[in-house]
Amino acid sequence: MKKPIVRLSFLTAITAFLYSCTQNETNDADSKAESQQFKIINVTHHDGKPFSTGASLSSAAGKYVDNPGGGVMMQAFYWDVPAGGTWWNTVSGKVAAWGNAGIGSIWLPPASKAQNGAFSMGYDPTDYFDFGDYNQNGSTETRFGSKTELVSLITNAHTENLKVYADIVINHNSGGQSEANPFTGTNTWTNFTGIASGKFPRTYNDFYKNSYGNNDEGAFGGFPDLCHAAPNVQNWLWLRTDGVGKYYKNTMKFDGWRFDYVKGFAPWVVHDWNANVGGFSVGEYWDANVNTLEWWANNANSSVFDFACYYKMNDAFDGNNLALLNDDMMWKRNPYKAVTFVTNHDTDEIWNKMLAYSYILTHEGYPTIFYRDYEEWLDKAKLNNLIWIHNNKATGTTSILYSDNDEYVARRNGYNGNPGLVVYINNSDVWQERWIQTNWANTQIKDFTGNSSWYPTTQADKWVKIQCPPKGYSVWSINQ
Q: Could you read off the pLDDT of 328-368 as tens digits, one per residue?
A: 999 999 999 999 999 999 999 999 999 999 999 999 999 99
| More confidently predicted of 51 and 394 | 394
Contact at 8 Å (CB) between 114 and 168? no
Measure the CA–CA gap between 316 and 324, rounded to whole angstroms.
6
- Name which of 107, 101, 65, 23 is nearest 303 in CA terms: 107
pLDDT at 268 over 60: yes
pLDDT category at 474 given cuts 50, 70, 90 is very high
**DSSP symbol at 145:** B
Instruction: Say if residue 64's pLDDT is above 90.
Output: no
61: pLDDT strictly greater than 90: no
Q: CA 338, 2, 352 angle in degrees (round to 5)?
A: 60
Look at residue 149 and tell me if it is in a domain. Answer: yes
Whole-number pLDDT of residue 212: 97
CA distances from 124 to 223, 225, 239, 347 (A): 8, 11, 23, 19
Q: How confident is the model at residue 41 (pLDDT cuts 50, 70, 90)?
A: confident
User: What's the rounded mean pLDDT across residues 358-387?
Assistant: 98
> Which residues are CB-neighbours of 310 under 8 A, at least 6 positions away?
288, 340, 341, 342, 347, 350
CA-based nearest residue to 88, from 106, 72, 73:
106
Average pLDDT rounded to a whole number, residues 443-455: 98
Give the pLDDT band (50/70/90) at residue 10.
Answer: very low
Q: State the alpha helices, DSSP H only, in 63-196.
A: 87-92, 95-101, 147-159
DSSP string, 271-298: HHHHHHH-SEEEE----S-HHHHHHHHH
Express each pLDDT in 297-313 by its tens digit. Answer: 999 999 999 999 999 99
Q: Helix axis angle, 290-300 relative to 307-318, nearest 10°?
A: 150
Closest-CA residue to 355 (of 317, 385, 389, 390): 317
Q: Would residue 117 count as lying in a domain?
A: no
Predicted confidence at residue 70, as pLDDT, reads 77
Q: Which of 120, 94, 121 is nearest to 106 (CA)?
A: 94
- Percent residues over pLDDT 70 in the chain: 86
Q: What is the pTM of this model?
A: 0.90
Provide the pLDDT for residue 349.
Answer: 96
Q: Is residue 116 part of a domain?
A: no
Dump pLDDT digits (tens) for 277-295: 999 999 999 999 999 999 9
* CATH number for position 67: 3.20.20.80
Tell me how many domains the chain contains: 1
Please report the pLDDT score of residue 356 as a whole number.
Answer: 98
Q: What is the CA radius of gyration of the chain?
A: 24
Residue 194 binned pLDDT confidence (cut-offs 50, 70, 90): very high
User: Does a structural domain hold residue 214?
Assistant: no
Q: Which amino acid is residue 475, in one-letter code?
A: V
Q: Is-contact 339 73, C-beta < 8 A?
A: yes
Over residues 444-471, the mean pLDDT reads 98
Share the mean pLDDT of the chain.
90
CA distance 205 to 358: 49
Is 254 within a domain? yes
Lowest mean pLDDT among 14-18, 157-161, 416-420: 14-18
In a domain, 384, yes or no: yes
Query: Is residue 284 assigned to a domain?
Result: yes
Distance (Å, whole) CA 223 – CA 326: 40
Question: Within a domain: residue 64?
Answer: yes
Instruction: Name beta bridge partners: 402.
Output: 409
Separate counts of helices (H) and strands (E) for the chain: 14, 22
pLDDT in tens, 104-162: 999 999 999 999 999 999 999 999 999 999 999 999 999 999 999 999 999 999 999 99
Report the half-sphere exposure of 65 (CA within 13 A, side-chain side). Answer: 9
Q: Which residue range forms the structural domain that includes residue 356?
A: 55-109+144-170+228-394
